[in-house]
């Protein structure tokens, strides 16, 4: 370029050779003057455009003026007007001056513009540099070196800022123009791969733990130019620690929430659920979609309850009060009872803490029931004790009196038999009552257990039948029947004969006691090969429907004429029921007042013990 620029100075020589000297024969001087002007202008423009040295241009301009003047002088046309008739083509010197002057003006403007822009660029660069240097983040400027194919082959550190120097305890001159890979591996003990972030995977940011510096660093990349990168290092140790603490706090919060037996809802002032927390351990599950965004009017509360909750929410927000409501909720896992507490969260929402009080309420209810039962039992016990003294005294008096009467010398045979029967019957009654009282006390102390062993049923049932026949020789107006389904005299199965006999005895005793006409039938029947159904039917006074539930309570007696006239303690049925339960059966009863009563229960009869089994 320098050579070309110097060549331009030969243009006047070229002009002289072609247009001015005597060699030029083809055109007169004056005709070539404008060729000279245009050539000189071309040279001037070339210099203006390419020359960096201003003197070169001025020098060329002066030579050009001399050349034109010289040619004009030689052609004797310095003052000759060339363009009398062509107003736009005037004196060559003026043409040259006008064009060169215009070019100078444009050139000058261009030069000033360039100077201005370079000034601005300088300021900008200074600004960037200042920002780079003063940034609180550690910055490194990296230059990429590429091969002929444009592939980056090396990354060089151009510069680092003050923060970088102080953070990583290194000086600029130690890292400047060093390979980035080498410097960062040295600084961060291979924890940070600069090639990975700039060339391979190119994530926008990357976090790593610099073990030697004991800090977490976050690196971000800026790429202002094709082969230039800025790496921004940010110490995020505090942020990381805060996140870890928050995580730990969250975990604590979760554990705490799990430990608190409550469900939390955030409800806005219009009754809309904004958020909720239900613990993993909660029995009932609520899907997010079925709560958040819905209002208390949509989630299944009865209308009046929803209205009540809405009113309480308003109270809570307006008066900053704490409101408590109890309600029940039907869920797929059953009905649950809740106690809801509402407290103001902010000016437009409340926090509702709902506690599942199902167990507590059930326990309270059971306690209440147990209390009533205990009171009733207490009352019945006193009645029983009063009865008992009467029950004991009556037969004892009869026995004592009749015993003395038996001793009368002039007593007839019939009378003797009658007195002896009275003594015997009252004695048995007394015995029965004492036995029942013993049974009850054993039940109370939970010392009765079923001692299962092979039990011959037919003899057992027949014994009870005979016992009643002998006890009540004249059944008056009613008949007593025995029904044994299996004729085999030694038929039996595994059960506790003692408990079975006591239960049957009490049930038949009742049937006899509450029947005055008709018949009593008792016995058993086989239910396939699986069970033995025992039954006692009578045609007695029956039991009113609303009393059936009560008669299984201890010491309870239905108020009726027979009970008022006869003895009884109200423990026969509960004892029978308890024993049958121990034997694996369940006492069932059907009764129609004035028609009669049917009581039955089925005991398990396992196969293999064959109801036709003969035991020697
Ligand atoms: P009790 O000593 O009064 O017979 P139980 O416990 O054996 O006591 O019976 C409770 C009540 O059940 C009796 O008072 C009676 O009113 C009623 N009851 C029991 N069995 C019969 C029956 N077969 N027919 C009518 N009432 C009966």
Q: Is 505 in the pocket of ligand 1 (CB under 6 A)?
A: no
* Distance, CA of 543 to CA of 547 (rounded, Å): 7
- Answer whether residue 608 shows pLDDT above 60: no
Percent over 70 (pLDDT), the chain: 91
Q: Which of 573, 598, 594, 554 is nearest to 506 (CA)?
A: 573
pTM more than 0.75: no
Q: What is the pLDDT of residue 578?
A: 94
- Answer whether residue 437 shows pLDDT above 50: yes
Average pLDDT over every residue of 500-511? 94
Q: Is 597 in the pocket of ligand 1 (CB under 6 A)?
A: yes
Give the C-alpha distances (Å, rounded to integers) separating 357 from 35, 278, 280, 281.
113, 15, 18, 15
Using 50, 70 and 90 to split pLDDT, how confident is the model at 616?
very low
Q: pLDDT tens for residues 346-383? A: 999 999 988 888 888 889 999 998 898 788 778 767 77
Q: What is the pLDDT of residue 612?
A: 55
Q: What is the pLDDT of residue 35?
A: 86
Of 8-22, 224-238, 515-529, which gets the smallest average pLDDT? 8-22
Of 160-174, 358-372, 384-398, 491-505, which gets the smallest average pLDDT? 384-398
Q: What is the pLDDT of residue 575?
A: 93
- Answer whether residue 404 shows pLDDT above 60: yes
Ligand 1: centre distance to CA 177 (Å): 112
- Answer whether residue 125 shows pLDDT above 70: yes
Strands (DSSP E) found in 84-150: 138-146
More confident residue, 32 or 242: 242
3-state class of 415 per DSSP?
A: helix
The residue count of the chain comes to 616
Q: Is 596 in the pocket of ligand 1 (CB under 6 A)?
A: no
Percent over 90 (pLDDT), the chain: 43
Residue nearest to atom 20 of ligand 1 (CA): 510
Q: What is the pLDDT of residue 95?
A: 85
Q: Is 570 in the pocket of ligand 1 (CB under 6 A)?
A: yes
Residue nearest to atom 14 of ligand 1 (CA): 557
More confident residue, 15 or 609: 15
Using 50, 70 and 90 to split pLDDT, how confident is the model at 405?
confident
Q: Is 538 in the pocket of ligand 1 (CB under 6 A)?
A: yes
- Answer whether residue 238 shows pLDDT above 90: yes
More confident residue, 85 or 548: 548
Q: Is 511 in the pocket of ligand 1 (CB under 6 A)?
A: yes
Average pLDDT over every residue of 494-508? 93
Q: What is the pLDDT of residue 489?
A: 79
Q: What is the chain's mean pLDDT, rounded?
A: 86
Q: Which of 120, 385, 356 is nearest to 260 (CA)?
A: 356
- Answer whether residue 291 shows pLDDT above 80: no
Q: Is 495 in the pocket of ligand 1 (CB under 6 A)?
A: no
Task: Give the CB-side neighbour count of residue 91, counting CA atoms within 13 A.
Answer: 13
The closest-lying atom of ligand 1 relative to the alpha carbon of residue 572 is: 7
The closest-lying atom of ligand 1 relative to the alpha carbon of residue 557 is: 14
Residue nearest to atom 16 of ligand 1 (CA): 558
* Distance, CA of 545 to CA of 560 (rounded, Å): 14
Q: What is the pLDDT of residue 613?
A: 44
Average pLDDT over every residue of 72-77? 78
More confident residue, 545 or 94: 545
Residue nearest to atom 21 of ligand 1 (CA): 510
Residue nearest to atom 18 of ligand 1 (CA): 510
Q: pLDDT tens for residues 8-31? A: 989 988 888 888 776 656 566 677
**How buried is 601 (Cβ within 10 angstroms: 0-12 exposed, 13-18 middle, 19+ buried)?**
buried
Q: Is 572 in the pocket of ligand 1 (CB under 6 A)?
A: yes
Q: What is the pLDDT of residue 615?
A: 42
- Answer whether residue 171 shows pLDDT above 60: yes
Containing 252, the helix (H) or strand (E) segment is: helix 237-259
């Amino acid at each position: 370029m320098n050579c070309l620029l110097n060549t331009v100075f030969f243009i006047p020589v070229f002009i002289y050779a072609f247009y001015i000297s005597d060699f030029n024969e083809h055109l007169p001087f004056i005709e070539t003057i404008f060729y000279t002007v245009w050539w000189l202008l071309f040279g001037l423009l070339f210099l203006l455009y390419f020359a960096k040295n201003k003197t070169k241009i001025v020098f060329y301009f002066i030579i050009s003026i001399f050349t034109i003047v010289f040619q004009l002088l030689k052609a004797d046309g310095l003052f000759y007007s060339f363009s009398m008739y062509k107003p736009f083509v005037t004196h060559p010197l003026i043409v040259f001056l006008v064009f060169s002057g215009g070019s100078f003006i444009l050139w000058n403007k261009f030069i000033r513009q360039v100077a201005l822009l370079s000034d601005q660029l300088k300021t900008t660069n200074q600004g960037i540099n200042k920002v780079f240097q003063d940034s609180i983040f550690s910055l490194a400027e990296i230059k990429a070196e590429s091969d002929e194919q444009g592939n980056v082959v090396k990354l060089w550190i151009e510069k680092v800022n003050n923060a970088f120097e102080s953070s990583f305890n290194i000086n600029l001159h130690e890292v400047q123009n060093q390979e980035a890979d080498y410097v960062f591996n040295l600084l961060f003990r291979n924890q940070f791969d600069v090639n990975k972030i700039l060339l391979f995977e190119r994530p926008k940011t990357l976090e790593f733990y610099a073990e030697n510096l004991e800090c977490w660093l976050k690196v971000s990349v800026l790429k202002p130019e094709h082969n230039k990168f800025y790496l921004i290092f940010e110490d995020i140790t505090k942020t990381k620690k805060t996140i870890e603490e928050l995580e730990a706090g969250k975990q604590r919060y979760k554990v705490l929430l799990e430990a608190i037996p409550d469900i939390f809802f955030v409800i806005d002032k219009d009754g809309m659920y904004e958020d909720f927390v239900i613990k993993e351990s909660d029995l009932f599950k609520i899907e997010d979609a079925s709560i958040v965004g819905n209002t208390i009017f949509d989630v299944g509360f009865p209308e009046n309850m929803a209205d009540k909750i809405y009113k309480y929410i308003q109270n809570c927000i307006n008066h900053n009060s704490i409101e408590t409501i109890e309600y029940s909720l039907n869920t797929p896992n059953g009905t649950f009872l809740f106690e809801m507490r509402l407290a103001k969260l902010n000016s437009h929402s409340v926090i509702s803490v709902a506690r599942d009080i199902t167990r507590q309420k059930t326990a309270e209810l059971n306690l209440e029931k147990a209390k009533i039962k205990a009171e009733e039992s207490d009352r019945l016990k006193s009645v029983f004790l009063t009865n008992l003294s009467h029950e004991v005294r009556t037969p004892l008096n009869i026995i004592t009196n009749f015993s003395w009467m038996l001793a009368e010398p002039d007593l007839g045979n019939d009378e003797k038999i009658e007195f002896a029967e009275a003594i015997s019957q009252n004695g048995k009654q007394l015995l029965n009552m004492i036995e029942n009282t013993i049974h009850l006390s054993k039940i109370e102390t939970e010392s009765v257990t079923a001692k299962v062993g092979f039990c011959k049923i037919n003899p057992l049932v027949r014994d009870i039948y005979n016992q009643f026949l002998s006890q009540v020789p004249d059944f008056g107006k009613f008949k007593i029947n025995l029904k044994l389904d299996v004729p085999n005299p030694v038929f039996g199965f595994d059960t506790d004969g003692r408990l079975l006999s006591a239960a049957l005895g009490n049930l038949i005793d009742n049937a006899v006691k509450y029947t005055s006409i008709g018949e009593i039938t008792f016995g058993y029947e086989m239910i396939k090969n699986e069970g033995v159904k025992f039954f006692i039917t009578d045609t007695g006074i029956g039991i009113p429907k609303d009393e059936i539930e009560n008669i299984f309570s201890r010491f309870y007696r239905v108020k009726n004429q027979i009970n008022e006239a006869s003895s009884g303690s109200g423990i026969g049925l509960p004892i029978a029921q308890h024993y049958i339960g121990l034997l694996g059966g369940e006492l069932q009863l059907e009764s129609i007042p004035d028609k009669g009563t049917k009581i039955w229960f089925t005991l398990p009869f396992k196969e293999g013990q064959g109801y036709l089994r003969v035991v020697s």
